[in-house]
Structure 1
């Protein structure tokens, strides 16, 4: 959870551009590139800013006024969106179970496509039969009402329409592509999931390396026999 809060699943560019929040104006940004030595020799703030804008006072990229505004606006829109084309169902609900809190923490990032979380859940029925599966969290958020789940009045059950579904009693094993993932069956590695947007592979084998930009988190809850989250940070192709 600390990792999620730290990076907030921002794109690498937006994460880097958060530094621009310290500047109120473009001139403030240029002033940060000007040294005391510059002012001593030039004796003119405007000239010093001009040299900075031309890139003579920075070892890296110096932003133009237009680029500065665009990047700062992008950071502000990410952190304080003016338009929200979605509703965060977990936002106004008192979350008590740690597992539900973890899902709520990931809700926004999955809705906007920064994160593509795969849920693995395993249940045992009263007669001891296993029902388990892999769920595309973002897809489920779009296709069903999660309020009862966030309230803790309804459990998450795998379905035959999910990425993966296994019902021991009836011997049913199903796999399906989803909005965010394609199912890949490897003769040696078994079931893998390929993200549709950056084509990265997620290996859900608990003994294997899960894959780049992906973390595996096992969460304990009295509501579930086993619950694992595979969090994949989507790297958009440029």
Structure 2
């Protein structure tokens, strides 16, 4: 398994829209299509912008105003994501279990992306069947609430959506892509 490359998470169209970040407004975007000859012949910036908006000054697609702002907002969120505050689920907890203590120490680093942790968990059901899996800790921190694990010592079980999952009785074997890892064939 290898770290997923962030640049491959987006479509080629989204990557091409990065050029929109150079323009603050739609008028600035249209002004980029206008040439000096247009202003000399038309003698009006408004007329030159109208011709650019109609697509006559571009060999590709010229965006309308609403579409420009929508695409620019999407690419702006990708390049400069708004920070979402997080609360450490382990903060203030005094876990007695060694696994919970180690995961509590690693929680902050995994949440901010400085550390990546893969947890191998193996349990046996009451009837003796194995359930095991590889858990991407950083991904699980985002998708689940870990407070019960740290506060009331809830047991950590692998789930079918984890990085790797094996249920012996059902014959279920799964390898999944998470935010941080993708399975290599």
**Aligned residue number for residue 17 of structure 1:** 17
Aligned length: 145
- Structure 1 or 2: larger strand share? 1
Per-residue deviation, 1:10: 3.9
Unaligned runs of 5+ in 1: 104-118, 124-130, 149-156, 167-171, 177-190, 194-201, 203-213, 218-228, 233-238
- Structure 1 or 2: larger helix share? 2
**Aligned residue number for residue 86 of structure 2:** 87
Conservation of the 8 A alpha-carbon contact between 1:132 and 1:158: no
Per-residue deviation, 1:231: 6.3
Please, what TM-score do these two structures have when normalized by structure 1?
A: 0.43
Conservation of the 8 A alpha-carbon contact between 1:18 and 1:75: yes
**Aligned residue number for residue 182 of structure 2:** 230
Per-residue deviation, 1:53: 0.3
Superposition RMSD on alpha carbons, in Å?
4.6
Q: How does 1:1-238 map to 2 (within 5 A)?
A: 3-4=5-6, 7=7, 9-78=9-78, 79-81=80-82, 84=84, 87=86, 93-94=108-109, 101-102=115-116, 121=120, 133-135=133-135, 138=139, 141-145=142-146, 159=157, 161-163=159-161, 164-165=165-166, 172=168, 191=173, 229-230=181-182
Conservation of the 8 A alpha-carbon contact between 2:4 and 2:182: no
Per-residue deviation, 1:16: 2.8
Which whole-Å CA distance do the structure 2 matches of 1:57 and 1:88 have between them? 51
